[in-house]
A and B are shown apart, each in its own frame.
Chain A
Amino acid sequence: MKRILVIDDDEAVRKLFLLSLEETGYSVYTVSSGMAGIKAFKEGQYDLIFLDLKMPGMNGVETLRELRKIDRDVSVYIITAFHDEFFAQLKKAEEEGMDFDVLRKPFDRKQLITATKGILEGPTSY
């Protein structure tokens, strides 16, 4: 079964991921910080990571850099409402050759399921 890791400091966002992806049948795990995310990723296998950009402590870009040190290929969706301050960092990460997609907030249930299935089962499956 495909496994998804959600890294977001907002409890409401973590919960929405759990509820909205429930019907897809994927296993969804959630953590509330970049540190906890890296720890979880080291301990388990994941096929897709949803990563919040703006978090206290280690932010999304820093977390992505650490994740890529462990695994260059795992799919990562950066969740963002586009904050100026992170955009330059995201661009830099892209220039460093780090791979990621961007899921723009706010998204609804259908958009989330489409995006998830698009990564895990190929774009034509949904």
Chain B
Amino acid sequence: MKKSQDKPVDAAALRRRAKERLKEKPAATGQPLAEADLRRLQHELEVHQIELEMQNEELQQAQAEIEAALGKYTDLYDFAPVGYFTLAGDGTILAVNLTGTRLLGIERARLLNRRFAFLVSEAHRPAFDAFLKKVFESQTQETCELALLKEGDRPLYAHIEAIVSEDGQECRAAVADITERMRADEKLKTAYAHLERQSAILAQQAKMSAIGVLVAGVAHELNNPLMAMLHFAQYCLKHTAEDDRCYSVLQDIEHETRRCIDIVKNLLTFSHSGDGRKEKYELKNPAEILERVVRLLSYRIEKEGVSITSHVDEETPKIPMRVNAIQDVILNLLTNALDALVESKKKEVHIDVHPDGDGVLLSIADSGIGISPEVLGNIYDPFFTTKPVGKGTGLGLSLCQSIIHAHGGEITCESEPDKGTVFHAFIPTQRRKGAKRDETHFSY
């Protein structure tokens, strides 16, 4: 057991002081002491010495007890399962226990007299300042959760409980490590977000499926009457002179009927029961399809003065695809790009095809009007369109998405209003298992 270090007992000094005190005492009468007196004095001295020895023993006992208590207190303080900090009103660390130093991985000497705020992650500093203010103002126990900077490691998430001392000069804070809990929370949050996304996809699929059935029914019912109207108009045209006032009206009827037929065709393609014959997968280079689509749109591209540049990586592999379906996707994306350029001064489209991980990434970028953030969230919804009546059914991107999903790929969009839009369609080189499920909902 260690001796008290605070006031070391200097035996020589003590003796000196005792001698001095003896000198101050009034001098004895000077008469020699009788033998009896001497004996009594010796006895008294002996008794006194024993008394002192006993007192000394008691003192030592008390000292030992104090040291034991101190040891126990130190042990309780330093090895408590939470970090204890004593902080001044400005957040200066006045005391810290061993657990506190271990939590932060910083030794006590480097913690004392530092501001606690510097241990708090920058993002949480304002929250900590507010917390400290509240602790000193409230007189009751306050809690908060913060990220603390841990030496050379990931941040430590801490739960802090603090209460101000009675004199209001300092506060005592218990700091518990809740990093594991936060990580679990984080994982839970991620899992929950994933679940929500999945359920949104499921809801979307259910919606698409219901719409698909409805649309297919209506479209099939419209097929015959529309076809009949087309033939009737064509019959009348055949039997009307070209200078007849009715002739151009009949042409309009024919034209508008064809438009209806096209809409129905689109609806049937979109809905799952459109075409009983499912197109077979073929190994094809997407660049080849791309070239075909650009050729298909060349008249419009030229007429509208659009400049198209393209870059096809030579390493682009062939990928398994339903050729007509992928052609529809590219046609849709490119048509959308051209539509977006109609009102912009800079009329540029850039197409890029390159291998990307385990598939091929096809990107179509335009310098057009862009898509506002509010609209961006809806672009894949069936029947959602921003185009004027007669210019779009709102099925194009919905169709593109279901085709790309059926191929096991992904379609994404980035857009900045007045700057332009880019669509990325990723198609994997290997058909994925998930692709099968989509096929029950969509025609591709």
Q: Which residues of A come within 8 Å of B, CB atoms? A: 10, 12-13, 15-16, 19-20, 22-23, 81-87, 105-109, 112
Q: How far is the CA of A31 from the CA of B235 in the complex (A)?
A: 21
Which chain B residues numbered 214 to 266 have a C-beta less than 8 Å away from chain A? 220, 223-228, 230-232, 234-235, 238, 258, 261, 264-265
Q: Is the CB of A13 within 8 A of B227?
A: yes
Q: Tell me the smallest distance from the CB of B14 to a CB of chain A, in Å.
A: 111
Q: Which residues of B contact A86 (CB under 8 A)?
A: 276
Identity of the chain A residue whose Cβ is nearest the Cβ of B230 in the assembled complex: A108
Q: Which residues of B contact A112 (CB under 8 A)?
A: 231
Q: Is the CB of A105 within 8 A of B228?
A: no
Q: Which residues of B contact A15 (CB under 8 A)?
A: 228, 232
- If A12-B228, A81-B268 touch, whether A105 touches B223 (CB-CB below 8 Å) is yes
- Partner among A13, A87, A108 whose Cβ is within 8 Å of the Cβ of B277: A87
Q: Tell me the smallest distance from the CB of B207 to a CB of chain A, in Å.
A: 21
Please name 15 further chain A to chain B contacts, defined as beta carbons within 8 Å, in addition to the given A16-B228, A20-B231, A84-B273, sorted by A numbering: A12-B228, A13-B228, A16-B231, A16-B232, A19-B231, A84-B276, A105-B224, A105-B227, A106-B226, A106-B227, A106-B230, A107-B227, A108-B234, A109-B230, A109-B231
| 8 A-B pairs with the lowest CB-CB distances in the bound complex, closest first | A12-B228, A16-B231, A87-B276, A106-B227, A109-B234, A84-B276, A19-B235, A82-B276
Interface residues of chain A: helix, strand, loop or mixed (majority): helix
Q: Is the CB of B227 within 8 A of A20?
A: no
Q: Tell me the smallest distance from the CB of A13 to a CB of chain B, in Å.
A: 5
Q: Which residues of B contact A13 (CB under 8 A)?
A: 224, 227-228
B275 at the interface (CB under 8 A from A): yes
Identity of the chain B residue whose Cβ is nearest the Cβ of A107 in the assembled complex: B227
- If A81-B268, A86-B276, A87-B276 touch, whether A10 touches B230 (CB-CB below 8 Å) is no
- Partner among B225, B232, B276 whose Cβ is within 8 Å of the Cβ of A83: B276
Q: Is the CB of B231 within 8 A of A83?
A: no
Q: Tell me the smallest distance from the CB of B113 to a CB of chain A, in Å.
A: 80
- If A19-B235, A20-B235 touch, whether A81 touches B277 (CB-CB below 8 Å) is no
Identity of the chain A residue whose Cβ is nearest the Cβ of B226 in the assembled complex: A106
Q: Which residues of B contact A20 (CB under 8 A)?
A: 231, 234-235
Q: Tell me the smallest distance from the CB of A92 to a CB of chain B, in Å.
A: 13
